[in-house]
Amino acid sequence: MKTDAVIKLRGLCLGDGLPKICVPLMPRDMRELRGEISRLKEAEWDFLEFRADAWEMAEEKEGEETLLKGLSCLRDYTEKPILFTYRTLEEGGERSISDDRYLALNLAASEHGADLIDLQLCRVEGNMRLLSLIRELQARGTLVLGSSHDFEKTPPKAEILRRLLRMEELGFDITKIAVMPRNRMDVCELLTASVEMRERASRPFITMSMGSLGQISRLTGAFTGSAATFGTVGKSSAPGQLESVHLRAILQDLALI
């Protein structure tokens, strides 16, 4: 990996050392958010993901106020980085959303405590309005993570690399791809692509093979170069995620080998 492929965020170095643990939170309302926050005290994590698509009426203007209050509440709870994500229906999320709402909500999140915003490659590529959102968020001091998800299959190594490198070309600060394996060779395809990306990346990247079959990919970031892995505290946001405390212990044990 190139020497400049490290990003510092509130003291957290992504792309350096062991993979960092991100815990996704998927509350539907403020009551559920408070419950998830209370469980964080017994968890292991380096940064949090606020999954806005799980929030009630998140895709509507009238739901934005309570959603942003929830994000501000989370910001008050921790000084660690917060990743804000609205995962759309076409990539395994909870809801659909218009381009106008997608743009407005992500901009608002940058003003209410989000340090990092997830924007989907499939949503922004070829869409000049949403491509400009990358630059606008960065101008505000908010980092932008480009993501691509395939819950049906694992693309060939060349396609995995193409998407990750395309996200670099578009100016994302961090790149991410998650794929679904149908067999063990699919997992190997993702791991091989990750090792090759490690030699080519100019910024941190995150890769994972989902489901129980792909769980090993969530543990091998120190070898493949994947900068972060996702661990659960309660509800998971994708199949194959491991409980965060066990995840930390395994990552630390692997580092000693």
Mean pLDDT (the chain, rounded): 93
Identify the pLDDT of residue 211: 92
Distance separating alpha carbons of residues 22 and 114, to the nearest angstrom: 14
* DSSP class of 84: E
β-strand pairing of 143-150 with 116-120: parallel
Question: Taking a C-beta distance cutoff of 8 angstroms, is the pair 137, 110 a contact?
Answer: yes
pLDDT tens sequence across 193-237:
999 999 999 999 999 999 999 999 999 999 999 999 999 886 665
The residues annotated as belonging to the active site are 149, 176
- Rounded to two decimals, the pTM is 0.94
Above pLDDT 90, what percent of the chain?
A: 86
Residue spans of the domains in the chain: they are 19-255
Q: How many CA atoms, within 13 angstroms, populate the side-chain half-sphere of residue 110?
A: 22
| 247 phi/psi in degrees, rounded to 5 | -60, -45
Question: Which residue, 228, 183, 232, 180, is CA-closest to 207?
Answer: 228
pLDDT band at 239 (very low <50, low <70, confident <90, very high): low
Tens-place pLDDT, residues 8-43:
999 999 999 999 999 999 999 999 999 999 999 989
CATH class assigned to 19-255? alpha beta
